[in-house]
Structure 1
């Protein structure tokens, strides 16, 4: 949940690192720092706050190469100058930046203090720096010192280390937290996310868990923690630096909501098979006979990925007639689940690095389950750890709140459901119907976006309240959950989501004139029952904003946002779009920090 950037080469690395940190600020933004190794001395500068604060306070003497930097989202210790990375060992020879959590930090700290080393910060990262410093007394090769230090560490880490005695290299290591190497022309880069370095190189190498790399200007070498050499093959990234720019928009979230027609177009591109009325998903790496053999589907994700999994589970049950459920990955492995030998497990993650979801994948793999991934980031940890899957190709998503990746993931599940259904009992006519609807989705999303002025007015009205309730039934239920999360994330409004029919079983006690209700009310088989729920709310003076396929009468809802019709199975995808804009404009009306909401970070790479 933090950002790492490093550079080694003939140029001044400081501007390169600072630029990369700004691109990673969505991953952590409560403090930052930079370290340069040169002339047998380290130069380190750290500052609480955003990267802009770090840049404005940076001394002119901080320049050169190699350089490493970090933008932090606090886990151990408050966001302060002292707790900011990089951290330096007791000999002031090594500087370390670190993503992840050291689980045996108390034991390491006790050991260091027994050896007369007193940490100055509250962080677990500083302890790693001291371990490297201690190990260097016994190992002339600093890579061996790093390897020795890490043998005492339990937990997750992505590390970059510079050494004042070797000011021509960067050492990096990975275990459970992403690290990518960038290959340049007699220069090398390291980052926790390729977006930080894509302006400088498109050739990258992903480190695997348990690997160490030594970077020098003219290349790199990789090995395992037990010193076995590893050969790596570089990959080319498929997006540009401009994808990480805000362009004409005030916030990345609004830009990314507006990019959804193009994102969905990429998700479906090349996958709609009109000839056989089905979907082509070669990345599943499963023969149709294998897919027919699964008796149940289990979907795991966190946050918005979990809610998209709920949409997916409904689609799979409805179209493929396979029992399917979605569950929070953060809970899955801790409840000692019974692994279904006839089940297909699907892990969902925009970043492909979500720690809780990755841990669930590893637990499933250990127990012999078949696991697929639905991810956005090519080459990510979950993509590499699963047996196959679907890349959603939504493009880079910078804002902490998910928008286009949520929508594209729902589209990916719709395609998977059609694919599974056509292998089973879904008719060619239904396959054709859904393929046509999928092809029309981008234009219909664009039509929803054109209603922004009406949504702005509704958001201004909603932002006057302190609380809100979101309701939906069946297909609308996961959309209500996702919408409630969005309004909490970016507008800091207290919001809850309930199944519409459950209001009368308790939550109806909360309804009064100060409890607005946002109701997802499609024109489906449950529409009349939904109207009954709206009458119950209005009878208790509850104000209602409806998301529906036609304008509701004012006795049911003061405001209605009308969404174009599509095939019933795909309606949740369109119903969610105005709710994204609603959260965005409510946050804007309340003057929130929309792209970097307090206490949150984009890629949750710690448990």
Structure 2
């Protein structure tokens, strides 16, 4: 599919097959522990600086060790560290040997401790083959046992080392075995997820690359080729890329590439390069100290991109050509279900509320991780929306595949054109958020919600929503970027409140109806980057148990949209205050002075759209609480930007 750009903007186009003119935006995904990074290079440049630069671009993903392998005068030179990419750079600073081919890796440990020995790349005993690998080999223990029984001495605790020995053994078995054949034969014995790159000193002009469940992208240069787990590692050198599909393998040289399936079918003719609509500057911090704050402040522009060309004043509706459904098909939709994980799931809840309010169609959201395990009843009249920033989230991808097996009607809502979910769905809604680097989603979540508002508007206008009501929503959507800008101007005031309550060990986030998914997302943001325990509750549920926890040490954030439930939300504040609990009110309406201990005000929007605005101050609140506590905001512990293994 592609983000279809028109002279006045974009219509949200999404096509099942890429073309050479296609425009892709970037995202994240992959990793041995979901977040590892892969870089490979073959060409005319000195390989080591290219690899180091690529690994630097992947540092945001989180890692505990780094390494690279280059070939010099027919021998492997492997350099590894249990530290940062800068430590690796320092280790290489005294080396003058040049190489035009190499592979690099940043590792997040899953098999074995995070030390230099377990760092990638891994080699066979004779140091003929070097390999870097993302993913988890599920039958690694069995493979390692077989190798040791045959006399191989394993020196690491990793699953990846087994692959290096197995590939080397295949190459040694017969002289006419190619590196590609050796990799294919090895992978036929492997169970699990992988994205990998293999280097062989007896094939000094080529790299072999394979993918199954962990993203791999090829970068096409002039007499040079690149490999990475994320295009962010490539955009400094090229914007022409090829995305590998699961079950595919590629062999690349400086001047050519070919791809085939693991069953041996050549499919190079189906691989048309995609142009990445991003450059190295998109991944620079600029004036900001970290990516999360940068991406919070990029939201007005991200919203403008999402809305450009998609608001139809003539018919008071939305244009979403990428969903590939005409008016008759839209009218036949009886239900809408959003499937996502984490923030994407909460955005789906916001989307479900918008669809029910604007289109009067039953809608709900469900965690994609639960959907495929409960033997779901798939209704052919239901529109399923698979939501993922990276487009690589394994739980959501597997839910899409389950739906397709059962004949479900599914579209994607992703931020990465060449992603697995995008390709699997074939059509859907492109988020237009731009590259999002920080683990905690901000602008992608906001753009998910605004795209779901567009979908709800479109569904409403093919049904009974009046033109006047449709135009009201169109105007409200058009106002959102400026309203978000106004909230960002109040960042210092929100930061003051965040600093005041950052020392709390626990916080509640309370909301009703429209405010409920906002509360859930607000609690998620706070706990994932500040490590403050936070729970979200529906306001009416407080008196059914959680009220017992209210105390002076337990602040509550109460979300108060300007709807007909204001009085009930004010009553909730009174209940909390009566029990000594501090209250931070997040509101788009007037509330009595002094009722809350602190108040965060947002501009009043069209009522259905207010949850989109109410999210933004909670992002700022979480950010400044985490900063006050000295947290690593962009790379919170134990978390990954994209979860591509279970």
TM-score of the superposed pair, with normalisation by structure 1: 0.98
How many angstroms apart in 1 are the aligned matches of 2:626 and 2:632?
8
Partner of 2:70: 36
In the alignment, which of 166, 183, 201 is matched to residue 146 of structure 1? 183
2:55 and 2:240 map into 1 onto residues whose CA distance is: 19
Tell me the residue number matched to 1:412.
Answer: 451
Q: Which moved more, 1:306-315 or 1:121-130?
A: 121-130
- For residue 552 of structure 1, what is the aligned residue in structure 2? 591
Tell me if structure 1 keeps the 8 A contact 2:224–2:254: yes
Q: Which residue of 2 aligns with 1:511?
A: 550
Q: What is the TM-score with the length of structure 2 in the denominator?
A: 0.92
Q: 2:206 aligns with which of 165, 169, 176?
A: 169
Name the CA distance, whole Å, in 2 between partners of 1:78 and 1:287.
54
Provide the C-alpha distance between the structure 1 equivalents of 2:383 and 2:550, rounded to a whole number of angstroms. 41
Give the distance between the partners of 1:85 and 1:19, measured in 2 at CA. 17
Please tell me whether the aligned partners of residues 370 and 387 of structure 1 are also in contact (alpha carbons under 8 angstroms): no
SS at match of 2:456: helix
Establish whether residue 84 from structure 1 lines up as the match of residue 119 from structure 2.
yes
Question: 1:370 deviation in Å?
Answer: 1.3
1:431-472 Cα deviation digits (max 9, x unpaired): 100110111100000000010111010010111211111111
Alignment pair present for 1:497 and 2:526: no
State whether residues 123 and 129 of structure 2, in contact with CA within 8 Å, keep that contact through their aligned partners in structure 1. yes
Q: How does 1:69-108 map to 2 (within 5 A)?
A: 69-108=104-143
C-alpha distance 351-536 of structure 1, shift in aligned 2 (>3 A): same
Q: Which has the higher contact order (CA 8 A, sep 6+)?
A: 2
In the other structure, the counterpart of 1:48 is: 82
Determine the structure 2 residue equivalent to 1:190. 227
Contact 2:40–2:227 (Cα < 8 Å) also in 1: yes
SS of the residue 1:541 aligns to? coil
SS of residue matched to 1:57: helix
Tell me, in whole angstroms, the C-alpha distance in 2 between the residues paired with 1:274 and 1:551: 32
Shift of 1:176: 1.3
Q: Measure the CA separation in 2 of the matches of 1:136 and 1:369.
A: 45
Matched, 1:65 2:104: no
**Does residue 572 of structure 1 match 2:618?**
no
1:597 equivalent in alignment to 2:636:
yes
SS at match of 1:335: coil
Q: Deviations over 1:402-436 (max 9, x none)?
A: 00000001000000000111111111111100110
Equivalent residues of 1:551, 1:560 under 8 A apart:
no
Give the distance between the partners of 2:573 and 2:224, measured in 1 at CA. 63
**Could you give the per-residue CA deviations for residues 104-144 of structure 1, whole angstroms, max 9, x where no partner exists?**
22222222222122432222212222221221123521110
From 326, 334, 337, the counterpart of 1:298? 337
Separation (CA, whole Å) in 2 of partners of 1:131 and 1:59: 33
Query: CA contact under 8 A between 1:552 and 1:560: conserved in structure 2?
Result: no
Q: Which residue matches 2:16?
A: none
Matches of 1:378 and 1:368, distance apart in 2: 23
1:555 CA displacement: 4.7
Q: Is the 8 A contact 2:124 2:168 kept in 1?
A: yes
CA distance in 2, matches of 1:338, 1:131: 43
Q: How far did residue 308 of structure 1 move?
A: 0.5
1:229 partner SS: coil
Cα deviation for residue 65 of structure 1 reads 2.4
Separation in 2, partners of 1:18, 1:550: 51
SS in 2 for 1:29: coil
Residue 58 (structure 2) aligns with = 24
Match of 1:328 in 2: 367
Corresponding residue SS for 1:137:
helix
**Gaps in structure 2 of 5+ consecutive residues:** 1-33
Deviations 1:530-571 (A, max 9, x none): 111111100111001111024533553111011001001100
Residue 57 of structure 1: how far off its partner (Å):
3.0
Partners of 1:35 and 1:405 in 2: how far apart?
Answer: 35
Which secondary structure does the structure 2 equivalent of 1:79 belong to? coil
Over aligned residues, Cα RMSD in angstroms? 1.3
Judge which range, 411-420 or 77-86, deviates more.
77-86
Offset at residue 63 of structure 1 (A): 4.7
Aligned partners of 1:364 and 1:428: how far apart in 2? 34
Is 1:32–1:46's contact at 8 Å kept on the other side of the alignment? Answer: yes
Q: Secondary structure at the match of 2:373?
A: helix
> What is the distance in 2 between the residues matched to 1:14 and 1:364?
44
Aligned residues: 607
- Identify which range, 575-584 or 337-346, moves more after superposition: 337-346
Contact 1:29/1:51 (<8 A) preserved:
no
Residues 27 and 73 in structure 1, CA contact (< 8 A), matched pair in contact too: no
Deviations 1:340-381 (A, max 9, x none): 222111110001111111111112112221110000011111
Are 1:542 and 2:581 an aligned pair?
yes
Confirm or deny that 1:582 pairs with 2:621. Answer: yes
Output the CA distance in 2 between the equivalents of 1:156 and 1:234: 25
Partners of 2:72 and 2:98 within 8 A in 1: no
Supply the distance in 1 between the matched residues of 2:87 and 2:581 (Cα, whole angstroms). Answer: 45
With 425-434 and 83-92 compared, the bigger mean Cα shift is at 83-92
Q: Is the 8 A contact 2:120 2:132 kept in 1?
A: yes
Cα distance in 1, alignment partners of residues 118 and 604 from structure 2: 52
In 2 relative to 1, CA 550–425 (structure 1 residues): closer, same or farther, beyond 3 Å? Answer: closer
C-alpha displacement at 1:75, in angstroms?
2.4
Distance 2:168 2:458 in 1: 55
Pick from 459, 465, 480 the counterpart of residue 441 of structure 1: 480
1:125 and 2:160 matched:
yes
Distance 1:596 1:68, change over 3 A: same
- Which residue of the partner structure matches residue 305 of structure 2? 266
Equivalent position SS for 1:123: coil
Counterpart Cα distance in 2 of 1:49 and 1:604: 23
- Consecutive unaligned residues in structure 1, runs of 5 or more: none
The offset of 1:56, in angstroms, is 2.6
- Aligned equivalents of 1:334 and 1:37: distance in 2? 46
Contact kept? 1:455, 1:561, Cα under 8 Å = yes
By how many angstroms is 1:59 displaced? 6.0
Instruction: Out of 5-14 and 90-99, give the one that drifted further.
Output: 90-99
What is the correspondence of 1:354-369 to structure 2 with a 5 Å cutoff? 354-369=393-408
Distance 1:76 1:425, change over 3 A: farther
The ranges of structure 1 where at least 4 consecutive aligned residues each deviate by more than 4 angstroms after the TM superposition are none
Taking the aligned partners of 1:339 and 1:90, their CA distance within structure 2 comes to 51
- Is the 1:138–1:145 contact (alpha carbons within 8 Å) kept by the matching residues of 2? no
Query: Residue 328 of structure 1: CA displacement?
Result: 0.9
